[in-house]
Structure 1
Amino acid sequence: MSQDSPAPVVERVDARHRYTIQVDGEPAGFTVYRDRDGQRVFYHTEIDDAFAGRGLASILVTAALDDVRASGMRIVPVCPYVAKYLKKHDEFSDITDPVTAEVLQWLQGDRA
């Protein structure tokens, strides 16, 4: 991205249970979640290959986790990228819950 490019835009799309990121009005990626008992369970994050290498996944997940904190919910990082991100960003440790067998079973049933 050049310095003249507008900043990426992250939006929560409740109807699709995801946060999206756009660059110059183009969809660049998303992270998908399901809500359960005050927890936002993130289970998949994807950035389009055309936008790879720009740090967009980090921008997307940062905005999503900031939104979770603002909503008073907790994070469950089933998604490998979100889990990796949280290991490097302990500022979210106070609102992060572990991935349990119960959560995984619920998630599989919820998406079936």
Structure 2
Amino acid sequence: MREDFKTIPLVKNETQKRFEIEVDGHFAFINYGEFGNQIALVHTEVPEALSGRGVAAVLVEKTLNYLEAQGNSLLPFCPYVFAYIKKHPEWKRIVNPKFKGYDKL
């Protein structure tokens, strides 16, 4: 994780159903759905002003760390999150094995 982003807190915004971080006054977020202890990550969005700075990867990493710490099972429907896990296969450990694309990770 980039050093300059390590101290930025992850917020679970339950009202808007998203995990978010604020960088330079802009919010990057991942929309989620919650089903018991399963969390479906469905869409990642990073404002254009933050593009190319690695914010999306930091957001995903912080979110995955949070989910693991909470004992959640992950359903990575978001294409960015899916690709991140494919690139970092150690995170497959928190993906629900019943997830349709599990064998492609």
Same fold (TM over 0.5): yes
Structure 1 unmatched runs, 5+: 101-112
Q: TM-score, normalised by structure 2?
A: 0.81
Task: Identify the residue that residue 42 of structure 2 maps to in structure 1.
Answer: 43
Q: How many residues align?
A: 97
Q: Would you say 1:13 and 2:13 are equivalent positions?
A: yes
Identity %: 33
Contact kept in structure 2, 1:9 and 1:23, CA below 8 Å: no
Larger Rg: 1
Larger helix percent: 1
* Aligned-pair Cα RMSD in Å: 2.2
The Cα shift of 1:32 comes to 0.6
The Cα shift of 1:27 comes to 2.2
Task: Identify the residue that residue 103 of structure 2 maps to in structure 1.
Answer: none
Task: Identify the residue that residue 59 of structure 1 maps to in structure 2.
Answer: 58
Q: TM-score, normalised by structure 1?
A: 0.76
